[in-house]
Amino acid sequence: MSTCGEILSNTNLKNDYFAVEFYAPETAASARAGQFVHVRIDDTRGDWILRRPFSICDTDPARGTVTVVYKVVGKGTAALSRLTPGHRCDVMGPLGNFFAPPDDAVPVAVCGGYGAAATFMLTRNPRKGLLLLGARSEADVILTEKYARAGFEVRVATNDGSEGVRGFVTGLIPPLLAERPHEKFCFCACGPHPMLMALAKLLRELGQEGQLSIDHRMCCGVGSCFACVVKVNDPSGPDGWRYARSCAEGPIFNLKDVYTGE
């Protein structure tokens, strides 16, 4: 569950997006779509101490490797992007639960930006599905070729219309349902919080099934610190909701549990 994972490759995909491949055979052997690793990136100056959680994008159990796709957003990810093959990082995982679309449904990944990394292993599903990807602009559209090679149909929406249709990713759903009215879908989502809340409301309106990867600023990664909590419906509680730890009880939450009130 915790190994000193040697970096085998760490390459720039596009702009601030990178893919790092760790040698972590135990993690690679059992990881499923939507699970994450908690990575300790060494710091010698004391600028940070905590681990960084990353969705597992892909694994190669035969080679014992785990691939993480990340965006440089702060000091930790900037440091990670500078690490070279041969460097070792402590990798905990796989952590959290996973996407589990029912066998009779077409899996549809609904993602915002590099949220597409979290759903990639859905392409191993015997039923080939679709990737609906939303991004601010073409500069943030990643992993679409990887999905296409894995047999998923890719549809893109960007805020500025620089790739795919102009608009939000949620706008891609009603046309899909109109095209394929007799199909059963399961929407598996990962992206920014506002996108996920909008998606949850839309899926409920449309009577569709959904599983959403929702988290918050994480700390321990295993359920002990209660930092990364998200609101979930809890009819037994006085307020109708409770805080669930996204690392230990999620990060995947069933649509029926997702709290969208205020």
Partner 1 sequence: MADLSVDLGKFQLKNPVMTASGTFGYGFEYNQYYDISRLGAVVVKGIRMTPSHGNPTPRVVEVTGGMLNAIGLQGPGVEKFLHDQHYMPFLRKTGAAVIVNIWGTTVAEYAEVASRLDAERQGITALEINISCPNVKAGGAAFGTDVRLASEVVSAVRKATTLPLITKLSPNVTKISDFARAAEDCGSDAVSLINTLSAMAIDIETRRPVLANKTGGFSGPAVKPVAVKMVYDTAKAVRIPVIGMGGIMNADDAIEFFLAGASAVAVGTANFVDPFTPLKVIEGINAYLDRHNFKSVRDIIGALEA
Residues in the site for partner 1, rule: CB under 8 A?
1-2, 40, 46-51, 90, 92, 216-217, 219-230, 237, 239, 242-243, 248
For the bound state, the minimum distance from the C-beta of residue 100 to partner 1, rounded and expressed in Å, comes to 21
Q: Which is it for the CA torsion 220, 224, 227, 228, positive or negative?
A: positive
H/E stretch holding 193: helix 193-206
Half-sphere CA count of 201, side-chain side, radius 13 A? 10
**What is the biggest distance separating any 2 CA atoms in the chain, rounded to whole angstroms?**
58
For the bound state, the minimum distance from the C-beta of residue 249 to partner 1, rounded and expressed in Å, comes to 11
* CB closer to partner 1, 145 vs 262: 262
* CB closer to partner 1, 148 vs 225: 225
Cβ–Cβ < 8 Å for 119, 57: no
* CB closer to partner 1, 122 vs 212: 212
What type of residue sits at position 198?
A: A
* CB closer to partner 1, 45 vs 149: 45
* CB closer to partner 1, 103 vs 239: 239
For the bound state, the minimum distance from the C-beta of residue 252 to partner 1, rounded and expressed in Å, comes to 18
For the bound state, the minimum distance from the C-beta of residue 153 to partner 1, rounded and expressed in Å, comes to 35
For the bound state, the minimum distance from the C-beta of residue 240 to partner 1, rounded and expressed in Å, comes to 12
For the bound state, the minimum distance from the C-beta of residue 15 to partner 1, rounded and expressed in Å, comes to 20
Cβ–Cβ < 8 Å for 158, 138: yes
* CB closer to partner 1, 82 vs 193: 193
Q: In terms of residues, how long is the chain?
A: 262
Measured from the Cβ of residue 69, the count of other Cβ atoms closer than 10 Å reads: 22
